[in-house]
Amino acid sequence: MPARIHKLLPAITADINSMTRFTESMAAHFGKELTLCYIRKEPRLLNLDFDTVLNRCSSMRELLGIRDSDIPQMLRKCPRLLLADSQALKAAYDHIPRVIAFTPALVRALVTKYPPVLVMSPQRLAASVERLRQLCYTREEWARDFEGITPSLLAYFLRDATDQLMRLEYLASTGERPEWQLREVMKPAGRSFRSKLRNFGQWELRVKQRRAQAKAAAAAAQQQAAQQAEAAAIKAELLAVEEAGGGAGKQQQRQQQQQQ
């Protein structure tokens, strides 16, 4: 059994009969090959019933203005779309033009080219695009490229934003390849990019190490602060109990003195 499916087994709650009916209906509608592809990429689909799949496909078609024949290939790119209800997809779709100045036609083009954008967290999408904007404005040519960025290039960026941002950070900090446009930075495969910039690999390793150390230090500081706060709370609780006990003792002493 593939490790990915085995890992997600606890999240699959459907019984064997329900899963059998689901896969048979999916295979009859999408074909066996695509059904296997969808479930291999997203085993949690087995928790759904086929009517839910049809309803969500209909919602995608209405939201994006696409044809029924476009749906299978969109799901091949991102079967996780079927786990999101129509309200979640609509909210994600409406969030895109708040992050990047795209017209409705450009938003549809982006979603068609890169469907996973609809299941990215809004915070992650916004942070990635904002960091891209900041880095692009370190060079005039990149700034112009960013202002006119196409859905195709933005989709290319989002597929591996971490690597793309690292490339831009390197070039912005070293000043190398000032003639490169944004497309020339993003398009080369990883090995090709590194072959053109011999020092990039070592620089990237150092940056990742520093960031990992900073993250570990921040986590340790947070844990220490939490422990100190817990200790302070315990100390305050014990002090309150002690003061309450002392107050009761004094009151009892006064009562005894009055009786005498």
Residues 165-176 have pLDDT tens digits of: 999 999 999 999
Determine the pLDDT at residue 243: 77
pLDDT band at 6 (very low <50, low <70, confident <90, very high): low
Residue 138 lies in a domain: no
Choose the final residue of a domain: 65, 83, 101: 83
Does residue 150 surpass a pLDDT of 60?
Answer: yes
pLDDT band at 9 (very low <50, low <70, confident <90, very high): low
Burial state string for 82-97 with b = 16 or more CB within 10 A and e = fewer than 16: bebeeeebeebbebbe
Longest dimension (CA), the chain: 100
* 253 or 127: which leads in pLDDT: 127
Determine the pLDDT at residue 238: 86
Does residue 4 surpass a pLDDT of 80?
Answer: no
Q: Is the dihedral of CA 206, 212, 216, 218 positive or negative?
A: positive
pLDDT band at 12 (very low <50, low <70, confident <90, very high): confident
Residue 59 lies in a domain: yes
Does residue 233 surpass a pLDDT of 80?
Answer: yes
State the average pLDDT for the chain. 91
Backbone angles phi, psi at 142, to 5 degrees: -65, -40
DSSP states along 78-95: -GGGGGS-HHHHHHHHHH
Determine the pLDDT at residue 10: 72
DSSP type of residue 187: S
Residue 254 lies in a domain: no
Residue 4 lies in a domain: yes
Q: pLDDT tens across 84-100, in order?
A: 999 999 999 999 999 99
Choose the final residue of a domain: 48, 83, 118: 83
Q: How many domains does the chain have?
A: 2
Does residue 249 surpass a pLDDT of 70?
Answer: no
DSSP states along 213-260: HHHHHHHHHHHHHHHHHHHHHHHHHHHHHHHHHHHHHHHHHHHHHHH-
Determine the pLDDT at residue 257: 61
Residue 94 lies in a domain: no
By residue count, the chain amounts to 260
Residue 139 lies in a domain: no
Determine the pLDDT at residue 119: 96
Residue 214 lies in a domain: yes
Residue 55 lies in a domain: yes
Does residue 137 surpass a pLDDT of 70?
Answer: yes
Retrieve residue 171's tokens: 């070039």
Determine the pLDDT at residue 147: 96
Residue pair 146/181 in contact by the 8 Å Cβ criterion: no
Determine the pLDDT at residue 108: 93
Choose the final residue of a domain: 60, 83, 106: 83
Tell me the average pLDDT across 11-30: 94
Does residue 1 surpass a pLDDT of 60?
Answer: no
Q: Name the residue range of residue 59's domain.
A: 1-83
- Model confidence, pTM: 0.79
Does residue 47 surpass a pLDDT of 70?
Answer: yes
6-15, 128-137, 142-151: least confidently modelled range: 6-15
What does the alpha-carbon distance between residue 48 and residue 205 come to, in Å, rounded to a whole number? 42
Determine the pLDDT at residue 239: 86
